[in-house]
Every structure is written in structure tokens, then in C-alpha cells.
């Protein structure tokens, strides 16, 4: 509902305008002087001000408009005047008024001007939004989407990119957190410096400290030479700590010290080395819950959470699904050397109504499979989309004919998934919905039990 302020020293005009505009479903406030009107404008937000030109002994309508536009340059004005000369009208329009109306006037004359103002206002807003979308599309080429949640993400990137503040990207798996981290780096004043990503879940606990901070020659067995850690490798650039929730509790205090002191000490060394690194962290877990469970330090969380960005799941930005589908079709038809691939609007509508628990990554995988299934067929059809695809599971026949413990079934599922993914532990963990550390710990356990584990 648009909000209008009526400023007039004539009680009769104020009352008639208030009742008439409320009947037209506008939110209306009234003021009896220019001073009162200016006070309203300072304290509240309005879309349009309708003001009388002459309101003795205080400020007049044009003076009110000039002062108000300094407060809010987007504010619209319609000026009422009993002196309907060309000179008065031109002065009002030059100063920034949208239109003017001379006394006496009818309610319908005024409402028609108001309607014209808001038609023009909406057109300007649409143009502004279109320009913004085109700007974002050009600027954030790696990111796809025009929905309100994605526009919020673009705005947040603009705000934080050139600062050195730590950023915490929180969102479900498959939402594109790493792409957003890359975009922050690409649009920062560090863009020509290194962007280094490390998956915290993939580092064995015993190697965490040397991986991040480096080590001196002879610091431990096999440390045959001095080696820089990732913080030094990312000097003056950006370090992405992916899945920060998986960092060992024993390492969290050391990471906190680095973030606070901006210096590191290599394993086996005594020299403090200054570092200038922008840290971005991601997580798909509820860190506040981990803090309650004493699995994550609250002080480290607050140090990382200086600028939090919530990455929306696909179900909260369904308007982007058609854009994403066409983006992935173009991506994969080039990858697999298909000249022409197309999809009907009806099929897009079907896909928009599906649930996407795997978010954008699931949609991307589905489109890639559809491109492969379609072969030389230029038109993608519903049968090309494997809508029933799901994580690898053990079949019912095996379950019914081979009664085993839950631990045994878990072992079979993990080993079978690893086989399907060519022993890619990160991919297997993603399919099974667990951390890479969980996979690694389970495999170590099976190895101790005598099971042959592929390296």
C-alpha cells in the first residue's frame, strides 16, 4: 500500500483528501503546515507528498519540497496552487515536482494525477530493477539467479567484498557456497592475489596444523624440508575454509589466535610470521548446536561470524529454477559437443514443482544426465530426466536373504558407495550424507578388522 502525506493549512481540503484517498486504498497522513510536514518526512517513509503552495506564515510548498528532497531524493511531489500561472507551474516542476494542480479541483482530478504518478513510479522501479539485474548478471557471471534471495546475496557481496572482515557462509549442501566465496574474492581488492580452498573435513587431524600453518625441516618424521602452510600460500589473498564445522576442537584455539593476532607459527618453529589473509568459512551445519554440544568454540564462531551470509536452499528460490535449467543445458551441451538442446516450458513447469533436497547441485546433476540420456535428440523430454534417482542403497533381496547387524550393513553400504565413486571419499561422503572424516574413521576401523581397503 502506497503511503501519501497531505500538507495543507486548509482543514476542509485536508479532511476531504484524507477520506477520498483512504477510499482509494492509500495509506494517508495529514499535516497542517510545512513545518509539521517536514517533521513527518524526517521520521517516516512516504512515497508521495501532496502539498499546498502557500501556507503562511511558515515555509511554503516549494521550500518544503526542497528540504524534503535532501532527506529523500526519491520522494514524489504534487503541488496544489491557487495561482495557476505558467511561471508557478514551471518553478514547481523545475524544483522537482511531478505535477501541479490548481484550486479549485475535484477529487477525481486529484486521484487521476496520483494514479499517473504511481504508474510512472512503478515503471521507474521496474527499469531500476532491470538495470540492477543486468548489472548483477554481468558482474556475477559465476552466480545464476534473479530471485529476491539471490539479489540479497549480490548486495551482500557488494558490501563485504573490499573489506577484510571474515565471512561465514551458512547453507545446506549444494547451495553454491563455494561459488559465492569465489565471487567475494573476485570482486575484492585481493582479486589478483591467491584464492585457496581447503576442505576441513578432508584433512587428517594429525596433519591439520602443518597443513594450515606449515612446518620447519625436521619438525616431525618425514618433514625433510621446510614447507609453507596454506595461510602463507594465501598471503594477501583469500583462504576458504570449507566445512569449518569439521575442524578438530584441538585446532580451534590455534586458528582463533591466528585470526586475532594475524600471525602464524610453523610447526617446529619459534618465529611468528605476519599474515594478511582474508578468511571465508562455510558450513552446512548448525554451529550454535555444536557449541552447545561443546564441539565448537563459541569465541571462534563469533570471530568467523563477523559478516554472516545465509545461502538460500533451492526451495526458497524456485523462481530461479527455469534460469538454472537453461544455464545448465547450455553448459552441458557445450561440454558434450551437442549443437542443439532445447526444453519445453511444460517440462520446465514439471521440474519447478519437484522437491530438490540436493539443491542446485542435484538440479545440475539431473540436467547433465538428461543431456547424456537424450543423445542426438535435440528436445529434452521427461523420460530423459531420472526423477527417481536416489543415493546408492542395498536392495531388498539382499536385506531379506542375508540377516546381518546394522554395523555390517553400514560397512557394506560405505564400501559399495566407494566402489561406485571410484574410491572418491569426498563424493561418497556427499552421497551418504556424512562427513569425509566419518568415512575415513570407518575405513580405518575396517582396516584394523582385516578388511582390504583400496587406497
pLDDT of 60-105, one tens digit each? Answer: 888 999 999 999 988 999 998 876 566 777 788 888 899 888 888 8
Residues 218, 267 within the same domain:
yes
Instruction: Flag whether the pTM goes above 0.85.
Output: no
Q: Residue 398: what pLDDT?
A: 44
- Confidence check: pLDDT of 123 > 90: no
What value does the mean pLDDT of the chain take? 86
Range of the domain at 424: 396-448
Within a domain: 453? no
Which of 330, 354, 384 terminates a domain? The answer is 384
Residues 276, 334 within the same domain:
no
Residues 225, 360 within the same domain:
no
Q: Residue 396: what pLDDT?
A: 41
Q: How many CA atoms lie within 13 A of 308 on its CB side?
A: 10
Residues 241, 320 within the same domain:
no
Q: Residue 73: what pLDDT?
A: 87
Residues 361, 409 within the same domain:
no
CATH number where 373 lies: 1.10.8.60
The tens digit of pLDDT for each residue in 143-156 reads 888 888 998 999 99
Residues 379, 404 within the same domain:
no
Within a domain: 295? yes
CB 184 within 8 A of CB 280: yes
Strands 48-52 and 27-31, by their bridges, are: unpaired
Q: Residue 234: what pLDDT?
A: 95
Q: Residue 310: what pLDDT?
A: 96
Residues 172, 154 within the same domain:
yes
Instruction: Copy the grid coordinates of residue 376.
Output: 542426438
Percent of the chain predicted with pLDDT > 90: 45
Q: Residue 414: what pLDDT?
A: 85
Instruction: Copy the grid coordinates of residue 351.
Output: 521440474
Better-scored residue on pLDDT, 241 or 1: 241
- Confidence check: pLDDT of 193 > 90: yes
Within a domain: 221? yes
CATH number where 408 lies: 1.10.10.60
Q: How confident is the model at residue 142 (pLDDT cuts 50, 70, 90)?
A: confident
Residues 54, 182 within the same domain:
no
Q: Residue 223: what pLDDT?
A: 76
Q: How many CA atoms lie within 13 A of 63 on its CB side?
A: 10
Residues 214, 302 within the same domain:
yes
Among candidates 446, 437, 433, which has minimal Cα distance to 205?
437
- Confidence check: pLDDT of 448 > 50: yes
- Confidence check: pLDDT of 229 > 50: yes
Q: Residue 370: what pLDDT?
A: 86
Residues 154, 69 within the same domain:
no
Which of 334, 355, 384 terminates a domain? The answer is 384
Q: How confident is the model at residue 411 (pLDDT cuts 50, 70, 90)?
A: confident
Q: Residue 301: what pLDDT?
A: 96
Q: Residue 172: what pLDDT?
A: 92
Instruction: Determine if the peptide bond prior to 104 is cis (ω within 30°).
Output: yes
Which of 293, 310, 327 terminates a domain? The answer is 310
Q: How confident is the model at residue 387 (pLDDT cuts 50, 70, 90)?
A: low
Q: How confident is the model at residue 178 (pLDDT cuts 50, 70, 90)?
A: very high
The count of domains in the chain is 4
What number is the average pLDDT over the span 311-328?
Answer: 93
- Confidence check: pLDDT of 395 > 60: no
CATH number where 183 lies: 3.40.50.300
Q: How confident is the model at residue 386 (pLDDT cuts 50, 70, 90)?
A: low
Q: Residue 42: what pLDDT?
A: 92
CB 297 within 8 A of CB 256: yes
Q: Residue 103: what pLDDT?
A: 83
What number is the average pLDDT over the span 223-228?
Answer: 84
313 DSSP 8-state letter: P
CB 126 within 8 A of CB 132: no
Percent of the chain predicted with pLDDT > 70: 91
Amino acid at each position: 500500500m502506497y503511503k501519501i502525506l497531505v500538507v495543507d493549512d486548509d482543514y476542509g481540503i485536508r479532511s476531504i483528501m484524507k477520506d477520498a484517498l483512504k477510499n482509494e486504498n492509500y495509506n494517508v497522513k495529514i499535516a497542517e503546515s510545512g513545518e509539521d510536514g517536514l517533521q513527518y518526512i524526517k521520521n517516516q517513509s512516504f512515497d508521495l507528498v501532496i502539498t499546498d503552495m502557500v501556507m503562511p506564515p511558515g515555509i511554503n510548498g516549494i521550500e518544503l519540497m526542497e528540504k524534503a528532497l535532501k532527506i529523500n531524493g526519491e520522494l514524489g511531489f504534487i503541488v496544489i496552487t491557487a495561482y495557476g500561472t505558467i511561471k508557478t507551474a514551471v518553478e514547481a516542476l523545475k524544483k522537482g515536482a511531478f505535477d501541479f494542480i490548481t484550486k479549485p479541483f475535484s477529487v477525481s482530478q486529484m486521484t487521476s494525477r496520483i494514479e499517473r504518478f504511481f504508474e510512472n513510479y512503478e515503471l521507474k522501479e521496474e527499469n531500476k530493477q532491470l538495470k540492477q539485474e543486468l548489472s548483477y548478471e554481468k558482474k556475477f557471471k559465476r552466480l545464476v539467479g534473479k530471485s529476491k534471495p539471490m539479489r540479497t546475496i549480490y548486495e551482500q557481496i557488494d558490501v563485504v567484498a573490499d573489506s577484510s572482515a571474515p565471512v561465514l557462509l551458512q547453507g545446506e549442501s549444494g547451495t553454491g557456497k563455494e561459488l559465492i566465496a569465489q565471487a567475494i574474492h573476485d570482486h575484492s581488492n585481493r582479486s589478483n592475489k591467491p584464492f585457496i580452498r581447503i576442505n576441513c573435513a578432508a584433512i587428517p587431524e594429525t596433519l591439520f596444523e602443518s597443513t594450515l600453518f606449515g612446518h620447519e625441516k625436521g619438525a616431525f618424521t618425514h618433514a625433510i624440508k621446510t614447507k609453507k602452510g596454506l595461510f602463507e600460500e594465501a598471503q594477501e589473498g583469500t583462504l576458504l575454509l570449507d566445512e569449518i564445522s569439521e575442524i578438530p576442537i584441538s585446532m580451534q584455539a590455534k586458528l582463533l589466535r591466528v585470526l586475532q593476532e594475524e600471525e602464524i607459527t610453523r610447526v617446529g618453529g619459534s618465529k611468528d610470521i605476519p599474515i594478511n589473509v582474508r578468511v571465508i568459512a562455510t558450513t552446512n551445519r548448525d554451529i550454535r548446536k555444536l557449541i552447545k554440544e561443546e564441539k565448537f568454540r563459541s569465541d571462534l564462531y563469533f570471530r568467523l561470524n563477523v559478516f554472516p551470509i545465509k545461502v538460500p536452499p533451492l526451495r526458497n528460490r524456485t523462481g530461479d529454477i527455469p534460469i538454472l535449467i537453461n544455464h545448465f543445458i547450455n553448459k552441458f551441451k557445450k561440454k558434450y559437443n551437442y549443437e542443439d538442446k532445447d526444453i519445453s516450458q511444460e517440462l520446465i513447469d514439471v521440474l519447478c514443482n519437484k522437491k530438490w533436497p540436493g539443491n542446485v547441485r542435484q538440479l545440475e546433476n539431473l540436467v547433465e544426465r538428461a543431456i547424456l540420456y537424450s543423445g542426438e535428440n535435440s528436445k529434452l523430454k521427461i523420460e530423459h530426466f531420472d526423477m527417481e534417482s536416489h543415493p546408492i542403497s542395498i536392495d531388498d533381496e539382499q536385506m531379506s536373504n542375508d540377516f546381518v547387524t546394522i554395523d555390517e550393513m553400514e560397512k557394506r553400504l560405505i564400501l559399495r558407495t566407494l566402489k561406485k565413486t571410484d574410491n572418491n571419499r569426498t563424493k561418497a561422503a556427499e552421497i551418504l550424507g556424512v562427513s569425509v572424516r566419518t568415512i575415513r574413521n570407518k575405513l580405518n576401523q575396517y582396516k584394523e578388522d582385516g578388511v582390504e581397503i583400496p587406497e
